[in-house]
Structure 1
Amino acid sequence: MGMQRGIHMTAAIFRRLALPAVVSLLAVPAAAVAQVTPFTQAVAVAASGDEALSTYYRESGYEPLWTDADADDRARREALLTAVSKTDLHGLPAGRYDADRLRSMMGDATDARARGQLEVELSRLFLRFASDISTGILEPEKVVSKIKRTAPENNRVELLRDLSTSRPHAFMDRLSPESLEYKRLVRERLRLIDAVQQGSWGEQVEAARLDEGASGADVVRLRDRLSAMGYLERSPTQTFDASMRQAVERFQADHGLKIDGIVGGKTRDELNTPPEDRLGSILVAMERERWMNRDRGERHVWVNLTDFRAKIIVDGETYFETKSVIGSDMPDRETPEFSDTMDHMVINPYWYVPRSIIVNEYLPDLRRNPYAHGQLDVINSRGQIVNRGRGFSNYSSRTFPFSMRQKPGPQNALGRVKFMFPNTYNIYLHDTPAQSLFEREVRAFSHGCIRLDDPYEFAEALLTLDGVADPMGTFQRHLTSGNNTRLELADPLPVHLVYRTAIAKLDGGVEYRDDIYGRDAQILEALQAEGVELPRAALRVASAAE
């Protein structure tokens, strides 16, 4: 009620600007735009500290964008009011736009000078709102150091120019990300809020294990929760039947769990997670989507770290998909988030051991036994293999002057192929001889690089998209040669390493994953610090990382 009353009050104040007695003060004739008037002087002074505002108003001859009495300015005012009133729909903090101060200025805008100041303040508000809703309210790396990406930047002058020539309501609607992912997240947020307002999803399931054939009070609780979540048609059954097992399997698939139709352990915990907590994941995913509100490439590689899967996306659809292993949840091994361009693959690669692994893991063994880790060559600065017989006991982690590498072969730590998108973090996708790890549900075991379950097929898919006539034959020819071979991609493609705990599905609904590195908890806390409001129960999401 308070928000709506404020909107009506503000609209009433705007209507005052259209009174005949005010029109003569606001309407600056086109032929007189170069004149210094109280209005133009006020605009120039108010905009002087902002280069984009100053540039726009100089170019427009200080024509008002908001505060004239004509239909165009009135439509822009109404569109801005409507857009700001719906900030909560996008998980943005309404208080961020200082509406009370603007209302006060509107009430005081009884002369040309005051209206000039109001003109600039409305433009300033619009630019801040446009930035927040299209590119996010947080700076990614300042919140989480492992997020090595920057949100896109709007051209603020262009925004004002475009607004001046566009249909205002449609223009405001286009400011938010237009991706289907974002629109589905907005819908899921509304669904979850409705669940909270309707009394959540019912009682929690307490039984240690429920399987097909079970009956009783816990089965009824399971039935009710699955129905409330949309996984099961409502029914009076008190027995864990085949339809309930299928609903559990669908729930497990949506939460990255082992699909066995049995409720126990992790499945029970996920079922008992309240909608308030899921709201936190949705709001963070929406902010992350705003950070990536840019062209991702018609063809690109998409690796969602929390999902432990790598995909090749073509025209919005999954062209190829495989399981992945990512960095462990130790601070120095977490896989960072960033985007870059894959331009080649290396078949039969050498593994050049990272310096951190050499000094922290291998050097202590070499000091005791110079022939330890014999599968690795010790290399000097000239690229020559070092005679291990001289020993390494005199070296410390600071003074050890050598590098180490593993020759190509089936036991190479990188397997038989690696996929390169050169970056400063030394992260890439690669094969691995440790195939048993792909059978785990949670696959965070590497030192940071991303291991693929089906690297040969991944290579074939890339070469097919690259236009190679015989993609698998070409790959196998280089593979069986045993030679270290660099294979360039004629058409490089973007690679996006992302971190989404809420993933909108193409057919509706949302999948959820664990916040394995605790990054979403940090982002949610930062969003709340900026004024994003959540039901109190959702604060548990933020405290999970403590």
Structure 2
Amino acid sequence: MTKFISTRLQVIVAASALCILAGAPAVAPVQARAPAVAPFGGDIADFYRGRGGAPLWFAPNAGPAAQQLLQLLASAQADNLNPRRYDVRGLARAVDGARSGDPGALQRAEVMLSSAFVAYARDLRHDPGVGIVYVDQELKPAPPSARELLIAASRAPSLGDYVQQIGWMNPIYAKLRQALASRIYHSPAESRLLQLNLERARALPAGGGRYVIVNPPAARLYMYENGQVVDSMRVVAGRPDPIAQTPMMNAFIRYIALNPYWNSPPDITSRKLAPTILKEGRAYFTKRGYDVVDQFGANAHVLDPMAVDWRAVAAGRVKVNLRQRPGPANSMGKMKFMFPNAAGIWLHDTPEKEKIEDAARLESNGCVRLEDAARFERWLFNGRAPSPKGARPEQKVDLPQPVPIYITYLTAVPSGTSIVYFDDFYGKDRAQARRFAAL
């Protein structure tokens, strides 16, 4: 008997949806109190037309998806959104009315649920405005079309699970949001941290594919495939002082450079290297593999290091381009992973493996040192990692396909059913909280 009722329900809703798509006056239009849903009417109609009028929310296999969507919308304040925007009470009445089996009520509830779902899902996907550098604009979060959202929902193995797990967002966002909405925190301070980190998590990718997330507060890199972590490793990220912090950044890793040079940053040259050069003289360059060059890059020319006033360099009055040649002591190690950007940030190998063992791994000049660069290389190249051809420096090897990297800043991270909190080393929590308080 249950199967018969479900099948009959599907036929009734399908017929009703076809009526509205054909323009037939099956029911009077509903006065929506959420103007945000109005612009999507045509796209939603196209979606139902493409599936022959078959229902989504009242399909036999939809399970509790409609009720789960209502619960999400009712708690939209957790997303820093106003629940009234989605007319949750009106939706609840429409869903209750649909239980009568009346074709008009079923049709009305189906279309209202899809409209509210589209409006809500689009509202979640936007640039959080927290200082992320979008090297590649394709990786800047933007609202998907109504058709994209509804098709993705219709293809989910379980619509109920898809809605409950907020499948159109990154899993990190979904779990932080669940903790906030369910009040899984111990103090107002933790609640605030969840809110701040939830905003940053908006910029993380949704859906499947391969991508990388680097989180300096956790000093860790994560490799994702189809929304799941398949591997991770420790990293050393930028120091807390402003000039050395690793920035939040979305970009594509496009190639690796084998046998890389290391170009010393001006402050490192002045503070650390120049004083030693003053003590050791020309022997420093021979022993440690450094060159003074007229510029960094492929067109660099090597200059006489002893023609430089190193006392002036150490005092910060003169700047010089100091480059370290490839070799065992090179600060880049054997390879670096490039996502070309104006800030000069990349991932790289390191000969200083002991730094990886430190508990507080925020010691770099902004770039990210990897615990196991060779393992990361194998993953990027699908198990077929390239090797350098001879000793020639800066051997460029393109990836089979660019892989997105998201350098984020999460001080609250889901771990199983709980949340792990990290120190606000860069002060971004404090700065973001002050900015939000001023709005």
Asked whether the two chains share a fold, i.e. TM above 0.5, the reply is: yes
Give the whole-Å Cα distance in 2 for the aligned partners of 1:363 and 1:128: 58
Match of 2:180 among 185, 189, 192: 189
How far did residue 324 of structure 1 move?
0.8
Give the drift of 1:423.
Answer: 2.5
Q: Give 2:143's aligned residue.
A: 154
Q: Give the conservation status (yes or no) of the 8 Å contact 1:152–1:294.
A: no
Alpha-carbon contact 1:312-1:320 (below 8 Å) kept: yes
Distance (Å, rounded) in 2 between the aligned partners of 1:316 and 1:82: 24
Alignment partners' CA distance in 2, 1:525 and 1:177: 30
Q: Which residue of 1 aligns with 2:199?
A: 287
Matched to 2:211, the amino acid is H
Given candidates 394, 415, 418, the residue that maps to 1:509 is 418
Matched residue, 1:377: 291
Q: Aligned pair in 2 of structure 1 residues 363, 127: CA closer, same or farther (>3 Å)?
A: farther
Give me the whole-angstrom Cα distance separating, in 2, the residues matched to 1:79 and 1:401. 61
Q: Take 2:230 and 2:422, find their aligned partners in 1: how far apart are those partners?
A: 22
The aligned residue for residue 466 of structure 1 is 382
Match of 1:9 in 2: none
Distance of aligned partners of 1:96 and 1:483 in 2 relative to their CA distance in 1, 3 Å threshold: farther
Q: Deviations over 1:335-371 (max 9, x none)?
A: 0112222232222211123355456765688799975
| Structure 2 partner of 1:143 | 130
Shift of 1:145: 6.3
Match of 1:263 in 2: none
CA contact (8 A) 1:320 1:458 kept: no
Read off the aligned partner of 2:80 and give its amino acid letter.
L
Instruction: Give, as a single letter, the amino acid of the residue that structure 2 aligns with 1:416.
Output: K
CA RMSD of aligned residues (A): 5.5
Judge conservation of contact 2:176–2:194 (CA < 8 Å) in 1.
yes
CA change 1:96–1:350 in 2 (3 A) is farther
The Cα shift of 1:448 comes to 0.3
Match of 2:211 among 300, 313, 335: 300
How far 1:379 sits from its partner (Å)?
A: 1.1
Aligned to 1:325: 236
Match of 1:334 among 229, 245, 249: 245
SS at match of 1:488: strand
Q: 2:342 aligns with which of 410, 424, 428?
A: 424
Q: Aligned residue for 2:410? A: 500
Is residue 131–residue 248 contact of structure 2 (8 Å, CA) maintained in 1? Answer: no
Deviations along 1:477-497, one digit per CA (max 9) or x if unpaired, are x38x44433333323322221
Residue identity (%): 23
Separation of aligned partners in 2, 1:314 and 1:155:
21
Q: Partners in 2 of 1:489 and 1:414 — Cα distance?
A: 19
1:94 and 2:82 correspond: yes
Distance of aligned partners of 1:357 and 1:423 in 2 relative to their CA distance in 1, 3 Å threshold: same
Give the partner amino acid of 2:428. R
Query: How far apart, CA to CA, are the structure 1 residues paired with 2:265 and 2:373?
Result: 22
Alignment of 1:223-242 (within 5 A): none
Q: Is contact 2:254–2:403 with CA below 8 Å preserved after alignment?
A: yes
- Equivalent position of 1:538 in the other structure: none
TM-score, with structure 1 as normaliser: 0.52
Structure 1's 403 and 444: CA in aligned 2 closer, same or farther, altered over 3 A?
same
Residue pair 1:340, 1:496 contacting (<8 A) in 2 also: yes
- What is the CA–CA distance in structure 1 between the aligned matches of 2:119 and 2:213, rounded to whole Å? 30
Matches of 2:43 and 2:122 in 1, distance apart?
Answer: 22
Deviation at 1:504, TM superposition (A): 1.8
Alignment-mate amino acid for residue 330 of structure 1: D
Deviations 1:492-544 (A, max 9, x none): 32222122222223x432322222212233334445556xxxxxxxxxxxxxx
One-letter amino acid of the structure 2 residue matched with residue 143 of structure 1: V
Preserved CA contact (<8 Å) 2:196 2:433: yes
CA separation of 1:301 and 1:369: change in aligned 2, threshold 3 A: same
- Residue type of the alignment partner of 1:86: S
Secondary structure of 1:154 counterpart: coil
Q: Distance in 1 between matches of 2:141 and 2:303?
A: 48
Q: CA deviation at 1:420?
A: 2.0
Aligned equivalent of 1:386: 303
Rate the CA distance shift 1:285–1:439 in 2: closer, same or farther, 3 A: same
Specify whether residues 155 and 307 from structure 1 end up closer, same or farther in structure 2 by C-alpha distance, changes over 3 A only.
closer
Contact 1:56 1:160 in 2 (8 A): no
- Give per-residue Cα distances to partners, 1:36-67, cap 9 Å, x unaligned: xxx9xxx9xxx9xx9x977978999xxxxxxx
TM-score (norm: length of structure 2): 0.63
Unaligned runs of 5+ in 1: 1-26, 33-38, 61-71, 73-77, 103-123, 196-273, 531-546
Q: What SS does the corresponding residue of 1:143 show, helix, strand or coil? A: coil
Contact 2:291 2:322 in 1 (8 A): yes
Q: Distance in 1 between matches of 2:428 and 2:213?
A: 19
Call closer, same or farther: CA 1:161–1:451 in 2, change over 3 Å.
closer
Give matches, 1:330-369, under 5 Å.
330-355=241-266, 357-358=268-269
Q: Could you tell me whether the CA contact under 8 Å between 2:274 and 2:311 is conserved in 1?
A: no
Contact 1:368 1:393 in 2 (8 A): no
| 1:42-100, Cα deviation, whole Å (9 max, x unpaired) | x9xxx9xx9x977978999xxxxxxxxxxx9xxxxx99987653223x3425389599x
Q: Indicate yes or no: 2:365 matched with 1:456.
A: no
- Runs of 5+ unmatched residues, structure 2: 1-19, 46-56, 58-66, 91-114
Three-state SS of the structure 2 residue aligned to 1:410 is coil
- Going from structure 1 to structure 2, the CA distance change for 1:91 and 1:53 (only over 3 Å counts) comes to closer
In the aligned structure 1, how far is the partner of 2:172 from the partner of 2:194?
Answer: 11
Matching residue of 1:519: 428
